[in-house]
Structure 1
């Protein structure tokens, strides 16, 4: 039975509510500047000949995830192929950009960490939207990637982090909504849920960088653990991409 227009409108409002509340909260909050202490990581040691070695080398899981996403993206069903490959390229960019940033952490070098990360977020959202709602969601890939990259540009030019926060946390909210209310049958939802869990764990490690450094006797820092957790989450996203075998006609 076809749902009534009133029910369709109610569902649309319900789906838009979490993101709308996030945007409203950020507008009410006012401009968000980058905390200068953000670059003062607990572990400042050289390791394997590299400055901030653990924070730099721990980006390798992103590289593995990017390669995996590209391989599976090339073999994915046609309507999922392009966003999957863009997500893979974004993850490769995170591996390189984050490592570059940690060699000499500044606001300028942080751009090359956040730019590919925002692209990967946008592509992952489109990938899930195609599967869970409608194949036409693929047309949102270019606009969303441009908006995501633009949010990093806004922060760079104005010093205001709010647009970037919308991209990062708004994408997460929309992914969760897609999983809860969508009707997909190709992407492996269990892998996506695992990716979200690992993302939350990674944010926890990031917020407790110094605590982990002290608790481990100055051997392991939270930011390094954040990279490992986020890298595992990225691999989960890559593993969610279905492979279209030659005999698969659907």
Structure 2
């Protein structure tokens, strides 16, 4: 089994990254520039409770803080609680939970007074979380070496995408960066065997992320549909916070299915 998995991985790496690059290039060539408009900062629910501007859009970030801090602390304990046995894997999950906790602060700060400058603090932590999550998935499917290289590359790309969006007023890189994991994870789930059990949680996480984006797009429609109780954007925050919860449950219950070459000593 170990030999078969390691024979499959090298053949799939080039095809996977080649396909990803071609998809990115296609999107950048055929799609027009997507500027950041002032309309992006106008949300359906702008109510002010107890002196807090855009109250629900601010406080619905609190679940990110709870899950992020909890996961971060458990990872810092050495990863034994999550059955994390590889150092490179531990780095990925520490950064993921750190990014999730940072989303709570960055997004809350942005929603207190939405503008082009504050949105960077909302976007960058989310991009870091996406980078770490995707690289952790790649590490699980393709091995520690490629997973770590992806972690570094994706973190750099996350920062560059955010800077590009602010400098050139073009959101395409940021949007593509968030879209790619939602497409690649389901495909790679069926192409490459998982190292751990409970792999279905990856698909559930992607589904929750897609649902959250749909809620954000239907911000005002959802707000009107529920008689102005809660907006689609606030629901996006709550729904997005379910994703790290699912990941945490997966990490708590998973077990090693089989070792890969070079990792045999790491798995019982």
Q: Which residue is 1:230 aligned to?
A: 240
After TM superposition, the structure 1 stretch with the greater mean CA deviation from structure 2, 15-24 or 222-231, is 15-24
Which residue, out of 112, 115, 122, partners 1:106? 115
2:80 equivalent to 1:78: no
Deviation at 1:14, TM superposition (A): 6.2
Scaled by the length of structure 1, what TM-score is found?
A: 0.88
Pairing 1:21-100 to 2, within 5 Å after superposition: 21-74=23-76, 75=79, 76-79=84-87, 80-100=89-109
SS where residue 193 of structure 2 aligns? coil
- Bigger Cα displacement from structure 2, 76-85 vs 94-103: 76-85
Q: Secondary structure at the match of 2:150?
A: helix
Aligned residue for 2:117, secondary structure, equals: helix
TM-score, length-scaled by structure 2: 0.82
1:178/1:22 CA distance change after superposition, 3 Å:
same
Aligned residues: 246
Tell me: CA distance 1:10–1:173, structure 2 relative to 1, closer, same or farther (3 Å).
same
1:120 aligns with: 129
Selected match of 1:129 from 128, 134, 138: 138
What CA RMSD, in Å, does the superposition of the two structures yield over aligned residues?
A: 2.7
Paired with 1:187 and 1:162, the residues of 2 have a C-alpha distance of 35
Question: Is the partner of 1:108 in helix, strand or coil?
Answer: coil
Query: Judging changes above 3 Å, is the alpha-carbon distance between structure 1 residues 58 and 171 closer, same or farther for their aligned structure 2 residues?
Result: same
Instruction: Tell me by how many angstroms 1:206 deviates.
Output: 0.3
Going from structure 1 to structure 2, the CA distance change for 1:243 and 1:213 (only over 3 Å counts) comes to closer
Q: Secondary structure at the match of 2:228?
A: coil
- Distance of 1:132 and 1:193 partners within structure 2: 14
Instruction: Give yes or no for contact 2:213–2:236 (8 Å, CA) kept in 1.
Output: yes
Assess if the C-alpha contact under 8 Å between 1:69 and 1:239 holds in 2. no
1:166-198 residue CA offsets vs partner (Å, 9 max, x unmatched): 211123223223322122222632222111111
The answer as to whether partners of 1:212 and 1:222 remain within 8 angstroms in 2 is yes
Gaps of 5+ in 2: 256-265
CA distance in 2 between counterparts of 1:15 and 1:143 reads 12
Mind listing any 5+ residue stretches in structure 1 that lack a counterpart?
Answer: none
Map of 1:188 onto structure 2: 198
